[in-house]
Structure 1
Amino acid sequence: MSNKSNADLILEAIKDLHNQEQIVTRETLSQLTNLKLSIIDDRLSYLVDSGYIVRVQRGVFVPAPKHRPARLMSKTLLPDGTVKIDIGDDQILTLTPREARTLGNLMVAEAMQYANIEMGHHMAILQSEVSGQVRKLKRQVEGLVGKGTQGELLYEHD
């Protein structure tokens, strides 16, 4: 008898089926693991929520891609234009100026993706700040209107 939890059993079955290029469905998992569909459904929800698997379309699942942790990286530009790239504890590349430009050209898509992600993060922060300021102004306006001030609020109409 196995000491594996139902979630571990299902995750292992998903990985095995995926590695065999088989479509992973709840019915396939039920047949393979001999677990009831209600248990399969519950554990699939848990595995999706936990980030272990991805629902690629309704009822079809694949293992979530896992990458090793990112290592520290550095680039050193030498006076003669040579570029040294270090990743982790290893010196990986020593590039001539032309090779460095070519590598940069090859990596431009990743650089643009990085820039877009960073811009999205900054826009989310700005949007949050603006929303907070709008809420504060709304409360102030409601407070003025609620006090029944003697002055009138003027609105411009275009």
Structure 2
Amino acid sequence: MRVTNKQMVLDAIIDLNNQEQSVTRETLSGLIDLSLAVIDEKLTSLVNDGLIYRIQRGVYLPVVTHDQARVISKIVLPCGTVKIDIGDDVWTLTPKEARIIGSLMVADAMQYSNIEIGHHAALTTAKMDLQTKEMRRDIKELQRLLASSNHA
């Protein structure tokens, strides 16, 4: 079965959102092999169909959302038994079961780490951009002052 362009765009939006990435036409064009014109057309169609919504100009989210995350905690008992509390549920795991679940979740842990690194990098870049602008402004002011003192 052939996936339509519209479904391809929707799937990409859901994937990006699940990875806590901003969904814009530019991020979509970097992810899927469609022209910006086709992506724009599909975005408009998906908004009109109620499958995505615009949270601000050029930024989209899928309408389908997960339930609110529950509180999760892990306790390791001295005997090696592991208790995992997820909301109102409690799992009691043997050490081997805890290792198996850990190995099954390692990809999610790496993805979480990558998401956090991406957020940190974006904040650092924004701070550096601001500092660069301030330094350029200061340099221009110094150049102006030097030029005016040389003419005096």
Relative to the length of structure 2, the TM-score reads: 0.57
Q: Which segments of 5 or more consecutive residues in structure 2 lack a partner in the other structure?
A: 7-42, 55-61
1:5-154 pair list within 5 angstroms: 44-45=46-47, 47=50, 50=53, 64-91=63-90, 93-147=91-145, 148=147
CA drift at 1:83: 0.7
Change (3 A) 1:42 1:83: closer
Letter in 2 for 1:50: Y
Letter in 2 for 1:84: K
Q: Which protein is bigger by CA-based radius of gyration?
A: 1
Q: Which has the higher helix share?
A: 2
> Following TM superposition, where does structure 1 have runs of at least 4 consecutive aligned residues deviating by more than 4 angstroms?
22-25, 41-44
Instruction: Report the aligned-residue RMSD.
Output: 2.9
Relative to the length of structure 1, the TM-score reads: 0.55
Contact 2:52 2:63 in 1 (8 A): no
Contact 2:81 2:93 in 1 (8 A): yes
| Identity within the alignment, % | 44
In structure 1, the partner of 2:16 is none
Structure-1 separation of matches of 2:82 and 2:46: 48
Change (3 A) 1:74 1:127: same
Letter in 1 for 2:111: Q
Q: Which segments of 5 or more consecutive residues in structure 1 lack a partner in the other structure?
A: 1-21, 26-40, 52-62, 152-158
Greater relative contact order (Cα < 8 A, sep 6+)? 2
CA drift at 1:140: 0.6
